[in-house]
């Protein structure tokens, strides 16, 4: 049977913990240190199996969103804007992972900065690690429906729900535990590596709950318990663009037959579709360049635009402005064009003022005036700008805004 490797990476200290089980569930390798140390320890070691990663809970934002739809694609599109107010950075700079639907109907969500996640994956890759999944240690704490506290070496985890909680250093845990409701049912597990600090925290909890806290002492270390409960957490950070197939180290010291066959098939596909791939890549680059150029001409004051599509959508919504967004003003105005004998030649929108400028063409100037009055009767503010008489047509502009 294959081995199974668990690793927990701490970005702030660039330290890694690893725990490997053999096919029978026995500990095969254990240690901690920089990722390079793990690479050195396993350089001459034969092992095969999956890699499962853990991150400290404080690395991400845990929240939830009320999204009625059950279609995952629609949920993925809605989540960034539903939790935008909870973020400390721009939506475009964050990666969102979606978990299970909670008992109250909301969707559990984890948000992490893309730059942070990219750096984490790069450091793991430098150690020869390509995890097939990545979860939070906070959510791997055993949970029985009550507030669950797990005390391990240097860290305390408080899990308050199926997909909610916090993790922090032992030195800061006393204050956090003191904020728990007095009547809260609390289950506490002290791990074998909890140390004296763990005993102090248990005494504090027992005092604050008048002895009502249920305290268990485990012979296992903290990482062992978290890994044993790894499968109970459904919130995996490796979703969307970061999603990977389950990665298995079939032969850590050389190419196995499976890998050789896979590489051969891949190489054949590359040769067969190289021409098509180059063409599509060039076409995609051209479309991307055209889209960015069009955006730059339309919104010349915007800088450092990473996600053009998201910015377009934001401008079309009007950025939440008080005078209404483009779609709202445009929809209210153009619904009166059919049957008016007017042709729209151009449309401009001033996002800061909420003004929509319609360049129109009509047989007679009276029709432009009549259309302006129609918009006014519909509850819009409409002002005629310019009217120019051509040979058999009249061209003019009307400025429209919501009242």
Q: What is the pLDDT of residues 261-303, one digit of tens each?
A: 777 788 888 887 777 777 777 888 887 787 777 767 766 766 6
Is 33 strand, coil or helix? Answer: strand
Q: What is the DSSP string of 104-153?
A: TSPEEEEEEEHHHHHHHHHHHHHTT---SEEEESGGGS--SSSEEEEEET
Site of tokens 């180059």? 278
Site of tokens 């979860």? 135
More confident residue, 171 or 360: 360
Identical fold for domains 1-135+230-254 and 318-402, yes or no, is no
Single pTM value for the model: 0.59
Q: What is the pLDDT of residues 14-70, one digit of tens each?
A: 999 999 999 888 999 999 999 999 999 998 888 888 899 999 999 999 999 998 888
Q: What is the DSSP string of 232-244?
A: G----S--GGG--
- pLDDT interval class at 403 (50, 70, 90): confident
Question: Which residue(s) pair with 21 in the sheet?
Answer: 4, 27
If phi over 0 gives left and psi between -120 and 50 gives alpha, with beta otherwise, what is residue 147?
Answer: beta
Compute CA distances 366 → 63, 167, 202, 358, whole Å. 57, 70, 84, 16
- Give the residue extent of every domain in the chain: 1-135+230-254, 142-228, 255-309, 318-402
Contacts of 43 (CB under 8 A, 6+ apart): none
CATH of 318-402, one of 2.50.20.10, 3.50.50.60, 3.30.1360.100, 3.40.50.1580: 3.30.1360.100
Q: What is the pLDDT of residues 293-329, one digit of tens each?
A: 776 776 676 666 677 677 666 665 554 444 457 777 8
Q: What is the pLDDT of residue 251?
A: 45
CATH number of the 1-135+230-254 domain? 3.30.420.380
CA distance 220 to 295: 57
With a cut of 50, say whether residue 250 has pLDDT above it: no
Q: Which range among 157-171, 224-238, 287-301 shows the weakest confidence by mean pLDDT?
A: 287-301
Domain 142-228 class, CATH top level: alpha beta
CA distance 266 to 359: 55
């Amino acid at each position: 049977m294959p081995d199974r490797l668990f690793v927990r990476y701490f970005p702030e200290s660039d330290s890694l913990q690893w725990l490997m089980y053999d096919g029978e569930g026995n500990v095969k390798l254990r240690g901690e240190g920089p990722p390079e140390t793990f690479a050195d320890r396993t350089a001459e070691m034969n092992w095969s199996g999956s890699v499962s990663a853990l991150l400290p809970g404080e690395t991400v934002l845990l929240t939830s969103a009320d999204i009625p739809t059950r279609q995952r694609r629609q949920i993925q599109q809605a989540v960034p804007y539903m939790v935008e107010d909870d973020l400390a950075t721009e939506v475009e700079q964050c990666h969102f992972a979606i978990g299970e639907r909670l008992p109250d109907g909301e969707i559990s969500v984890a948000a992490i900065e893309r730059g942070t996640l990219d750096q984490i994956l790069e450091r793991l890759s430098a150690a020869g690690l390509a995890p097939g999944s990545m979860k939070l240690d906070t959510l791997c704490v055993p949970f029985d429906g009550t507030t669950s506290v797990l005390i391990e070496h240097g860290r305390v985890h408080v899990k308050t729900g199926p997909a909610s909680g916090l993790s922090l250093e032992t030195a800061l845990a006393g204050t956090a535990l003191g904020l728990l409701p007095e009547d809260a049912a609390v289950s506490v597990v002290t791990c074998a590596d909890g140390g004296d600090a763990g005993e102090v925290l248990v005494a504090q909890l027992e005092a604050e709950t008048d002895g009502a806290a249920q305290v268990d002492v485990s012979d296992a270390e903290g990482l062992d318990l978290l890994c044993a409960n790894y499968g109970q957490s459904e919130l995996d950070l490796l979703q969307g663009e970061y999603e990977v197939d389950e990665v298995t180290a079939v032969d850590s010291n050389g190419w196995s037959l499976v890998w050789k066959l896979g590489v051969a098939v891949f190489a054949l596909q590359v040769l067969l579709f190289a021409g098509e791939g180059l063409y599509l890549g060039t076409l995609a680059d051209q479309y991307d360049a055209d889209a960015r150029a069009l955006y730059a001409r339309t919104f010349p004051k915007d800088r450092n635009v990473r996600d053009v599509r998201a910015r377009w959508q934001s401008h079309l919504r009007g950025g939440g402005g008080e005078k209404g967004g483009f779609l709202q003003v445009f929809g209210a105005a153009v619904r009166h064009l059919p049957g008016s004998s007017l042709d729209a030649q151009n449309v401009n929108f001033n996002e800061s003022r909420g003004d929509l400028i319609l360049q129109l063409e009509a047989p007679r100037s009276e029709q432009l005036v009549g259309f302006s009055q129609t918009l006014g009767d519909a509850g819009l503010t409409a002002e005629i700008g310019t009217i120019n008489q051509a040979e058999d047509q009249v061209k003019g502009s009307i400025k429209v805004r919501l009242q």
